[in-house]
Amino acid sequence: MAKNFNKELNSYDNMFKNNQQIQQQENKSNAKEYGNDLEIKLLKPFSRHPFQLYTIEKLKDLANSINKNGVLSPIIVRPIEHDEYAYEIIAGHNRVKACSLLGMKTVPSIIKEVDDDTATIMMVDTNLQQRETILPSEKAFAYKYKFEAIKTKGKRNDLTSPQIATKLQADEKVALENNESKDTMYRYIRLTHLIKPILVLVDLRKMPFIPAVEISYLCESEQDDLYDIMRRDEINSITLKQAKLLKSASQTNRLSYKQIDKILSSKENQSIGNVKIPYIKIKDFFEKKATTKEVENTIIKALKAWFEQNSEVRHEN
């Protein structure tokens, strides 16, 4: 009796599993029947998508264009095995988001049966080709993901096709297809080792590219200390000389907070070539309509007066 009961339970369990699988297959097949107009709720964002979504303003512009002209270019997806989703988006994340804003339930799609590495390469290539502006962090992770995917595919091909013609190395392929030198490509990939706050400074063009690459060789805790000192002193960047000193010292022994502070505050590493004063610190001394030149001239006059006055005091003493 117990055996029959267990068999009956297993039968019900298999029935529910089969129904679940059938439902997922029906979701995919139904989507294909409607000219590849897939339900948005079945679409999963790409698992490793390094590109930022549009700002809300740009997204609204895209939504207005879609509302007026429709989706001119279908998104690209691939089928996946997932409890909640039926497809993974390879290209078209912003179009899907814009369609959602419009309250659309479906989006025109092209379905491609591809493996993880091919999907990654397609995701990177379509974004690099279509985007008008690309942040350094986006380019860094895009190059890294494509580089890794090409290497993995190359290893599989070597195992299955020993007679295959000599291929370009993965790094040469990524560099060539993106009009970069190999050295530049590797420098971008180095940025992926930066902690997020410093990488944000690179994206904001506050931290120069080459010093940022040098900093990337510091371990995470050293970068945390560096950023803490920069924030304390209200600076957004460091010089190439400082970055090289930090990298060199870090490769010998782990840098302490005190050592980092000393390198950044050392007078011989500080240049007076470009002095920047945050406007918020001097705004109370000027009218709102004051021009940059007027502010500059006033500061120079004030400094001259101060030095002349202090010079007279010293002579009297």
Identify whether the C-beta of residue 193 lies closer than 8 Å to the C-beta of residue 222.
no
Domain boundaries, the chain: 18-113
Task: Give the C-alpha separation, 263 to 245, whole Å.
Answer: 7
> How does the average pLDDT of the chain come out, rounded?
83
**pLDDT 10s digits, 196-247:** 999 999 999 999 999 999 999 999 999 999 999 999 999 989 999 999 999 9
**pLDDT 10s digits, 7-42:** 444 544 444 344 444 344 444 444 333 348 899 999
Neighbouring residues of 166: CB distance < 8 A, sequence distance ≥ 6: none
Long-range contact pairs involving 231-237 (C-beta distance under 8 Å, separation at least 24)? 233/264, 233/265, 234/278, 235/264, 236/201, 236/204, 236/206, 236/207, 237/201, 237/206, 237/207, 237/208, 237/211
Q: How confident is the model at residue 316 (pLDDT cuts 50, 70, 90)?
A: low
Q: How confident is the model at residue 157 (pLDDT cuts 50, 70, 90)?
A: low
* pLDDT at residue number 266: 76
18-113 is classed in which CATH architecture? Alpha-Beta Complex (3.90)
Question: How confident is the model over 114-118, as a mean pLDDT?
Answer: 93
Q: How confident is the model at residue 290 (pLDDT cuts 50, 70, 90)?
A: confident
Q: Is the pLDDT of residue 312 over 60?
A: no
Q: Is the pLDDT of residue 62 over 50?
A: yes
